[in-house]
């Protein structure tokens, strides 16, 4: 039966329009926003159905599920935007279990007054990241909060994936003697974000490392199937991730500062602001802990991947009832690499 329904009275004013409360009301304005902005970019068979959930077939096996809220400022930064980041952040958490990511869900909380043009850039960024990763956004939700009760856009993504048989990766599996690897330079994302913050503005060529790591993980698992831990050192940086893993596995760690890859520009920016690259966020790097005999194979596999060219072995797991992460400094001394206290903020002293 042909439809004579006129769906929407006019086109969504993406060029100069703003998000208003009606876009979150669940009524026709919501439907139009979804159809003319979200669906246009993220389009796929499952999302297009327009049901309140997505439906797909899964094989029997071990599934992983992960969720992350993205609340960054600024929303656009050198090397990415919150849309792409929301895809990478969650895909990586799924991948850190060794899983192949399958599908993503995305929830948007929009602040009244947010420019539709910016929203479109963000959704386009998300779509490009999802397409590049081969993992579609199959279901979503959009809410609008009053001006002053949000901050432009918050995006919560949830991902699911399947773990290949035989893979057993968890934060509590680090064992004394294991090797500790990172997949590349640390601190790039955090420095890129800070370089574009108002008041801090400095010039640098650093761009965020925001990237989806699941193909890197697959390649490493192919070469070194008995990996014990994988984790992406996001908020709180490498230092926090190592402390988390040490605590979960009830071990200590010893790393060598000289072995940790840090870009010159990241070092420079950290000197300027009084920060420590060990605590600066990454969005396209992983920490890998594996039995020492597999370290070389894992390292080679990482280096063979476009996202792992600067991978390095940075230390080893040790027994330690304090679960300390200790570091041999480039200077030859020893220090503790503790949890981050509070936020990393530019200091005067």
Q: Measured from the CB of residue 339, what is the shortest distance to other proteins in angstroms?
A: 8
Residue among 230, 233, 236 at smallest CA distance from 209 = 233
- Cα separation of 33 and 54, whole Å? 19
Stretch that binds Mg ion, among 27-35, 141-149, 193-201, 287-295 (CB under 5 A): 141-149
- Cα separation of 165 and 181, whole Å? 23
Task: Give 57 or 333: the residue with its C-beta nearer to a copy of itself.
Answer: 57
Q: Measured from the CB of residue 57, what is the shortest distance to other proteins in angstroms?
A: 38
**Residues touching other proteins: how many (CB under 8 A)?**
55
Residue 184, burial from CB neighbour count under 10 angstroms (0-12, 13-18, 19+): buried
- Cα separation of 248 and 243, whole Å? 9
CB 317 within 8 A of CB 291: no
Q: Using the rule CB under 8 A, is 188 a contact of a copy of itself? A: no
- Non-local (6+) Cβ contacts of 246 within 8 A are 174, 252, 253, 320, 323, 324, 325
Single out the residue of 40, 62, 147, 175 in contact with other proteins (rule: CB under 8 A).
147
Strands 179-182, 252-256: pairing kind: unpaired
Q: Using the rule CB under 8 A, is 207 a contact of other proteins? A: no
* Residue 221-260 contact track with a copy of itself, rule CB under 8 A, x = bound: ----------xx-xxx---x---x--xx-xx---------
Q: Using the rule CB under 8 A, is 209 a contact of a copy of itself? A: no
Q: Using the rule CB under 5 A, is 146 a contact of Mg ion? A: no
* Residue 27-56 contact track with a copy of itself, rule CB under 8 A, x = bound: xxxxx-----------------xxxxxxxx
**Window 290 to 349, contacts with a copy of itself (CB under 8 A):** 319, 321-323, 339-343
Task: Give 238 or 299: the residue with its C-beta nearer to other proteins.
Answer: 238
Q: Measured from the CB of residue 262, what is the shortest distance to other proteins in angstroms?
A: 11
**Window 47 to 76, contacts with Mg ion (CB under 5 A):** 52, 66, 68
Task: Give 8 or 56: the residue with its C-beta nearer to other proteins.
Answer: 8
Residue 223, burial from CB neighbour count under 10 angstroms (0-12, 13-18, 19+): middle
Q: Give the CA-trace dihedral at 194, 198, 200, 204, to 10 degrees.
A: 60
Single out the residue of 134, 293, 319, 334 in contact with other proteins (rule: CB under 8 A).
334
- Cα separation of 257 and 145, whole Å? 45
> Phi then psi for 101, rounded to 5 degrees?
-70, 145
> What's the DSSP call for residue 18?
B
Q: Using the rule CB under 5 A, is 16 a contact of Mg ion? A: no
Binding site for other proteins (CB under 8 A): 6, 8-10, 18-22, 27-29, 112-113, 147-148, 195, 199-206, 263-265, 267-269, 271-274, 322, 324, 326, 329-336, 338-339, 341-342, 345-349
């Amino acid at each position: 039966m042909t439809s004579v329904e006129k769906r929407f009275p006019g086109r969504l004013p993406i060029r100069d329009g703003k998000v208003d409360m009606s876009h979150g009301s669940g009524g026709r304005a919501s439907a139009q926003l979804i159809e003319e902005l979200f669906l246009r970019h993220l389009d796929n068979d499952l999302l297009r159905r327009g049901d309140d959930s997505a439906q797909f077939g899964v094989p029997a096996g071990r599934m992983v599920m992960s969720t992350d809220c993205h609340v960054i400022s600024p929303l656009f930064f050198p090397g990415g935007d919150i849309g792409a980041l929301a895809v990478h952040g969650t895909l990586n958490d799924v991948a850190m279990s060794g899983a192949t990511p399958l599908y993503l869900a995305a929830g948007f909380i929009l602040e009244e007054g947010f420019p539709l043009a910016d929203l479109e850039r963000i959704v386009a960024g998300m779509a490009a990241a999802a397409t590049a990763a081969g993992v579609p956004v199959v279901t979503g939700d959009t809410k609008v909060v009053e001006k002053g009760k949000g901050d432009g856009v918050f995006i919560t993504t949830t991902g699911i994936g399947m773990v290949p048989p035989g893979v057993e990766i968890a934060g509590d599996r680090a064992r004394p003697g294991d090797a500790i690897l990172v997949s590349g330079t640390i601190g790039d994302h955090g420095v890129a974000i800070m370089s574009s913050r108002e008041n801090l503005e400095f010039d640098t060529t650093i761009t965020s490392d925001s990237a989806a790591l699941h193909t890197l993980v697959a390649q490493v698992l192919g070469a070194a199937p008995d990996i014990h831990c994988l984790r992406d050192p996001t908020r709180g940086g490498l230092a926090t991730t190592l402390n988390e893993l040490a605590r979960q596995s009830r071990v200590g760690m010893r790393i060598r500062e000289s072995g940790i890859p840090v870009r010159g520009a990241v070092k420079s920016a950290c000197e300027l602001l009084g920060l420590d690259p060990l605590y600066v966020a990454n969005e396209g790097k992983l920490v890998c802990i594996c039995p020492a005999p597999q370290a070389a194979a894992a390292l080679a596999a990482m280096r063979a991947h476009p996202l792992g060219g600067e991978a390095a072995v940075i230390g080893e797991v040790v027994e330690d009832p304090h679960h300390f992460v200790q570091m041999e400094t480039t200077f030859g001394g020893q220090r503790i690499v503790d949890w981050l206290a509070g936020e990393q903020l530019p200091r005067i002293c």
